[in-house]
A and B are shown apart, each in its own frame.
Chain A
């Protein structure tokens, strides 16, 4: 089922509650995903809003073909990369304590189990490409094909990327003393 598409079309037909539901469904995940790129929650929040707005204005025709979520994340990624290109100097601003607390709260809304917490902690320590693909697959529950669409990679590339990401994750988890096999 294409989660979100129905809300999206409802909103386009003039029902504002459709947008509210979309925001409730995807806002936190989107901010967390974008934050992985821009390393700033406030900016990630703005970019997430911008992503929704862009999807509404452009009315992508691909939403029916692929899932709404896939398309949303794809646009979010593009926005994040554009932002980094535009404002490179500010891309590595250190998080303040309040930012860190907010990020923790945001993660807790996405991460549902202890295992996922461990996984999330380890994802931060591996390469960005690896963490992205694993985040999309394990946390956003996307298929390989959908993850490939978001990350602009074909099937073969995404399979290779997942394979290497898993290896990197395993090494990291072993180093950190977590049990990889339980995941």
Chain B
């Protein structure tokens, strides 16, 4: 047993030891807290930086596809705009289809695409090509496929058959889930659920196809998606470059239907064969005049009048359809591009179709 004095000394030693231990512990706690705060800030900054980097690669109105980081939002046309369209203004590059059921949702009322370029992202560093952020695309937006950083808008749909599938679809590119999420790691993603393929006879950089199933009708459809943005920034300068080089109308044209009138919403369901109004020879000459038309930097205002419009439905041998809008003054609209022609044949055909 220790004496009281020894015990007191022992206690004093213990007190010193405990004080040192407490100091060390406090220092460690402070250090850990600071470290934790630093780590939290770093993680937050990283995630924020990463999110900003993952903004999408899309641009529609702004045609410069220089980077994968342009955010896009699509708005469906509201009633006011629809009524405007009824006066005869095609608002966007929506082509029709051959099957009525499939076409109802897309071509009867072509939606206007409004692009909001995300300027906040302009100075952000590039993210890896595989990672995209599509926050601005909501579920009501147009059907779109994102492939290798490019956006493809649905322009045509047809009911799937063995024949159409074999004819149209070629290389399988990937499966889409129907949700364009922020961390898509696949090369191909879409807000439509389906399987994406390249399309026979068309460049992969311009056109993609998708096989999808309509839940309501239980029928399978082939949707055609075109990269309209690229057209606007490409070297297209004349009609032939679009109609022949890209859409291959010269090789694949099967027959042409037309609609004339002011209400473009009913055009799809009021088609007639063009040969009922003009001869085959005139049809050929007319197509030549389209090919010779020059690209202009027009906008929708050229259709903003009460004149009768003509919509041509060029039915192709591969079962796709190309829509071309014509006006009295020689303006031609197709796939987001405006052309102008002064051809007499054009004028003749226009008057024949609008009589």
Q: A49-B14, A57-B15 are in contact. Are A23 and B7 (CB under 8 A)?
A: yes
Does B12 lie at the interface of the complex (its beta carbon under 8 Å from any beta carbon of A)?
A: yes
Bound-state Cα–Cα, A102 to B12, Å: 24
Flag if B11 contacts A23 (CB, 8 Å): yes
Does A171 lie at the interface of the complex (its beta carbon under 8 Å from any beta carbon of B)?
A: no
Chain B 1-38 per-residue mask, 1 if CB under 8 angstroms from chain A, else 0: 11011011011101101110010000000000000000
CB A7 to nearest CB in B, in angstroms, measures 12
Question: Within the complex, which residue of B5, B7, B19, B22 is in contact with A49, where a contact is CB–CB below 8 Å?
Answer: B7
Does A110 lie at the interface of the complex (its beta carbon under 8 Å from any beta carbon of B)?
A: no
Flag if A53 contacts B1 (CB, 8 Å): no
Chain A residues positioned under 8 Å from B12 (CB to CB): 16, 19
Flag if A24 contacts B4 (CB, 8 Å): yes
Chain A 14-51 per-residue mask, 1 if CB under 8 angstroms from chain B, else 0: 00100110011001000000000000010001101110
CB A51 to nearest CB in B, in angstroms, measures 9
Bound-state Cα–Cα, A49 to B2, Å: 11
Pick the most buried of A23, A24, A54: most chain B CB atoms within 10 A of its CB. A23
- Interface size of B as a range: 10 to 19
Bound-state Cα–Cα, A163 to B4, Å: 36
Chain B residues positioned under 8 Å from A20 (CB to CB): 4-5, 8
Does A8 lie at the interface of the complex (its beta carbon under 8 Å from any beta carbon of B)?
A: no
CB B271 to nearest CB in A, in angstroms, measures 90
Chain A residues positioned under 8 Å from B11 (CB to CB): 19, 23, 49, 52-53, 56
Chain A 137-156 per-residue mask, 1 if CB under 8 angstroms from chain B, else 0: 00000000000000000000
CB B208 to nearest CB in A, in angstroms, measures 69
Chain A 56-80 per-residue mask, 1 if CB under 8 angstroms from chain B, else 0: 1100000000000000000000000
Bound-state Cα–Cα, A57 to B16, Å: 9
Flag if A57 contacts B22 (CB, 8 Å): yes
Does A81 lie at the interface of the complex (its beta carbon under 8 Å from any beta carbon of B)?
A: no
Chain B residues positioned under 8 Å from A5 (CB to CB): none
Bound-state Cα–Cα, A106 to B5, Å: 16
Flag if B7 contacts A54 (CB, 8 Å): no
Pick the most buried of B5, B12, B17: most chain A CB atoms within 10 A of its CB. B12
Bound-state Cα–Cα, A57 to B18, Å: 7
Chain A residues positioned under 8 Å from B7 (CB to CB): 23, 27, 45, 48-49
CB B6 to nearest CB in A, in angstroms, measures 9
Flag if A45 contacts B15 (CB, 8 Å): no
Bound-state Cα–Cα, A102 to B14, Å: 24
Flag if B1 contacts A102 (CB, 8 Å): yes
Chain B residues positioned under 8 Å from A48 (CB to CB): 7
* A residues neighboring B (CB under 8 Å): 16, 19-20, 23-24, 27, 41, 45-46, 48-50, 52-54, 56-57, 102, 105-106
| 24 pairs from A and B in contact (CB 8 Å cutoff) | A16-B8, A19-B11, A20-B4, A20-B5, A23-B7, A23-B11, A27-B7, A45-B1, A45-B2, A45-B7, A46-B10, A49-B7, A49-B10, A49-B14, A50-B14, A52-B14, A53-B14, A53-B15, A53-B17, A53-B18, A56-B11, A57-B18, A57-B19, A102-B1
